[in-house]
Amino acid sequence: MNPKRFLLPALMASPLLLALAPLADGLNFNPAKGSSLSKNTEINMSFELGDMTVVVDGQDMSGQIPADASGNMDMTMGWTDKYVDLKDGKPLELIRTYDEMSGSMEMNGGGESDSNDIPDFDALSGKTIRFTWNEEKKEYDVAFHECEGEEKLLKTQQIDMDYRMMLPTAEVAVGDKWEVPTDFVRQILDGIKNGDMGEDGAAMQAILQDELFPQLERMLENFKTSCEYKGRRDEDGVDAGVIAVSIEGKGDLDLKSMIESLVEEQMKNMGQEIEFSIGKATLAMNMKGKGEVLWDIKSGHVLSADQTADFTINVGFDASIDAGGQSHSVEAEIEVPGKFSQTMTLKK
């Protein structure tokens, strides 16, 4: 057997094989030190009533609830991040200035509409925050920078508003897939948990910490965010890596114990004694969505992002109350379908 008979065709075919092989791209976070990026995010969530049954004291009261009941929430936020220092794709010092923030909530039903601003949503508008990596604690020190503000607002801050969590851990070729670590979602939950409800709400916050948040953490294990690399495309003259995002999950919460604790706390504050019994209080959520993240390959930062999702919330409730010698009961099964969308763009 002459090995050259096989070696020569292989050598001749090797350039073709290399040309056919998928090329790997690096999607890395590496903005230049001292550079700044200004971003704008718009978030919308809308919902309406679906199938519903509400029975009060044995009578079907479903018809008393407006069939056109719906709600809509809009939030807009603009901010500028200055990357003072970085190392190996990790910000060591970042200064964030919130340029503008606005949020509103609208409720509709029975031909009427009521719209209000979301309380304190713009509390950080015009404020600057500094994130400094603390190597000893393995976490960021967060403080107001050249301004003053309420310390409780710092507890909800997360440094990653760059979509770094969506990046793969190695170079990728077209068609490669990976999952976003659930640590990112838990960071968002931690931000909510760390919110300060003030002295008046301390007891309520403790109940939420003990009864609600542990269940939310377990439920998050059923929600997955997956990414797929679609390759490159020219986006207004920028060489952009395209990441397709899919979100899917479902889970449920048992709110019986939490509501009982909240009612007990409320009655104690009011100095009243009411017999309140809950047979069932559940909330189930099903969500499916998709999105796209464009990554500036050369400059090493996000270019734009958008996500949309459909969700359905099902509430089941069964309770009775005895107050002032009168007894009442409520049974309800309510379906709430809705939509969520979020877009992020760079300001030019």
pLDDT tens-digit map of 141-169:
999 999 999 888 898 888 999 999 999 98
Find out whether 51 and 89 touch, Cβ atoms under 8 Å. Answer: no
Q: Where are the domains of the chain?
A: 23-346
Say what the pLDDT of residue 131 is: 97
Residue among 175, 180, 211 at smallest CA distance from 193: 211
Residue among 162, 164, 185 at smallest CA distance from 80: 162
**Measured over all CA atoms, what is the biggest interatomic distance in the chain, rounded to whole angstroms?**
103
Say what the pLDDT of residue 147 is: 95
147 φψ region: left (φ > 0), alpha (ψ -120 to 50), beta (else): beta
Average pLDDT for 315-325? 86
Per-residue confidence at 65, pLDDT binned at 50, 70, 90?
confident
**Does the predicted model carry a pTM greater than 0.75?**
yes
* Percent residues over pLDDT 90 in the chain: 59
Cα–Cα distance for residue pair 120/31, rounded to 1 Å: 32
Q: Half-sphere exposure of 314 toward its Cβ, with a 13 Å CA cutoff?
A: 11
Q: Lowest-confidence range among 59-73, 97-111, 168-182, 208-222?
A: 208-222
Residue 13 has pLDDT above 90, yes or no: no
Instruction: Specify the higher pLDDT residue, 206 or 244.
Output: 244
Which pairs count as long-range contacts for 326-331, CB under 8 Å and 24+ apart, including other chains? 328/56, 328/57, 329/55, 329/56, 329/57, 329/58, 330/54, 330/55, 330/56, 331/53, 331/54, 331/55
- Give 190-232 pLDDT, tens digit per residue: 655 555 545 555 666 676 777 677 887 788 778 899 999 999 9
CB atoms within 10 A of CB 168: 18
Instruction: Specify the higher pLDDT residue, 328 or 296.
Output: 296
Average pLDDT for 49-73? 91
- Give 269-280 pLDDT, tens digit per residue: 666 667 888 999
Per-residue confidence at 121, pLDDT binned at 50, 70, 90?
confident
**Size of the chain in residues:** 348
Residue among 325, 293, 288, 282 at smallest CA distance from 310: 288
Say what the pLDDT of residue 316 is: 95
Cα–Cα distance for residue pair 180/189, rounded to 1 Å: 15
Say what the pLDDT of residue 197 is: 47
Which structure tokens are listed for 83? Answer: 């990357």
Say what the pLDDT of residue 291 is: 95
Q: State the average pLDDT for the chain.
A: 85
* Percent residues over pLDDT 70 in the chain: 84
